[in-house]
Copies of this chain bind each other. A is one copy, B any other.
Amino acid sequence: MSSQQPSVQDVQHLTSEEIRMRIRTQRHDTHTSGLAPGKLQCNLAILPEIYALDFLRFCQRNPKPCPLVGVGETGDPMLPILGRDIDIRTDVPRYRVFKNGAFEEEVSDISGLWADDLVTVALGCSFTFENALMRAGIPVRHIETGRNVPMFRTNIDLVPAGPFHGQMVVTMRPLPENLIEQATSISGRYPQAHGAPIAVGDPAAIGIKNLDQPDYGDPVEVRRGEVPVYWACGVTPQNVLRAAKLPICITHAPGHMLITDVAEDAETTIYQATTN
């Protein structure tokens, strides 16, 4: 399938709904970075209802790494709150399935796993503020160099809720000192997408030993005159969910996001259906 697949360039002009339809019909199964510009993309967590109240409490208490943008009805795979005709069983390019905390498989369709007690939780992702930084002319090193963003485990404790607890994972982007204030102000406008940085400067201050050895993603260079800037990362809830060892839990595969119909700069993340 992948070998016949059109490149990202071929789908870049498509609407969010058109791209989801390609994903659903297995005509697009790669990452979603740069697709449907201006539309909110989401991290995904699907879990049994009996854990959902605690997980929502956890997200509400840790809004920087876990910005809640949409919660589905129990057992209902459709997400009208985030866009037209979204079927969460088929409309994400790749899913990861965990059972009792262990990775089980990576799949492109979870129809066979869907159950009446599952709840979909969509969380904002960093694509949103990265797009805003680049529109303002602020360089984003890992994108410029075609790499994945470097991610690090930290010693920053999360506020626990029920079985959910742990430490924050952050992303790092190096910035010239004179652009940090502007980058903070711009990203701070997107609380639904991790908001302003969580820390700036010394990696040791937040428990990071070596910036050249990220725990996830690729290393990127911090050049002379640049300062490492850290944002809360959507890998945080994935690690927390995994550590909680739920009987089943489904997430997106990194970079393979849910593309919604909600505008990135919308004041709220609730899709307002329009007739057209």
Contacts and interface: CB of A to CB of B under 8 A. Distances in A.
A138 interface: no
B63 A159 contact: no
Interface in A151-170: 159, 161
A188 interface: yes
Contact of A68 (B60, B73, B188, B268): B60
A139 interface: no
Chain A contact patch, size range: 20 to 34
A64 interface: yes
A71 B119 CA distance: 19
A195 interface: yes
Given A267-B195, A268-B63, A159 B81 contact: yes
A63 B68 CA distance: 11
Nearest to A62: B270
A57 interface: yes
Contact of A49 (B53, B60, B74, B81): B53
A64 B268 contact: yes
A64 B71 CA distance: 16
Interface string A241-276: 000000000000000000000000001101000000
A60 B188 CA distance: 20
Contacts of A53: 49, 52-53, 56, 74, 119
A196 interface: yes
A83 interface: no
Interface string A34-72: 000000000000000100110011001111100010110
A191 interface: yes
A73 B60 CA distance: 12
Given A60-B71, A71-B57, A81-B61, A196 B267 contact: yes
A43 B34 CA distance: 40
Interface of A: 49, 52-53, 56-57, 60-64, 68, 70-71, 73-74, 81, 119, 159, 161, 188, 191, 195-196, 267-268, 270
